[in-house]
Amino acid sequence: MPTTAVAFDPSLPWQKARSVALRPEPFGALVYHFGNRKLSFLKSRTLVAVVEALAEHPTADATLTACGVPEAQRGTYVKALADLARSNMIEARTSLPPATRRLAADACRQADQPEDS
């Protein structure tokens, strides 16, 4: 079922699309959309953490803050998220984040940890 890409607005709530899977890789992650069969690459562990944490925060901006994205790099991350929205890898969220989950940056902090070899 084709979906229409929505213009990305970082002040709105977003989530990884339900038809999307992330596969961690040393460089970041492979992103595969099972609906449109698109494959993308996330070339930053921090960007992977941001995408995974989107559903946990009220807005994309709040997710960037929670993941510790420096102000000087915000534009780069917003552009990357806009590209992911355009390719339907992330989607606008209409529900509030789950109230039972902490809005902590645990997943974001893990992005900065070196992987075990």
- Domains identified in the chain, total number: 1
Instruction: Region of 106 please: left (phi>0), alpha (psi -120 to 50) or beta.
Output: alpha
pLDDT in tens, 54-105: 999 999 999 999 999 999 999 999 999 999 999 999 999 987 665 534 444 4
Q: Which CATH number covers residue 24?
A: 3.90.930
Reported pTM: 0.79
84 assigned to some structural domain: yes
Mean of the per-residue pLDDT values of the chain: 86
Cα atoms in the 13 Å half-sphere on the side-chain side of 23: 7
Which residues lie across from 23 on neighbouring strands?
A: 30
Domain coverage including residue 32: 14-96+104-111
Whether 1 maps to a domain, the answer reads no
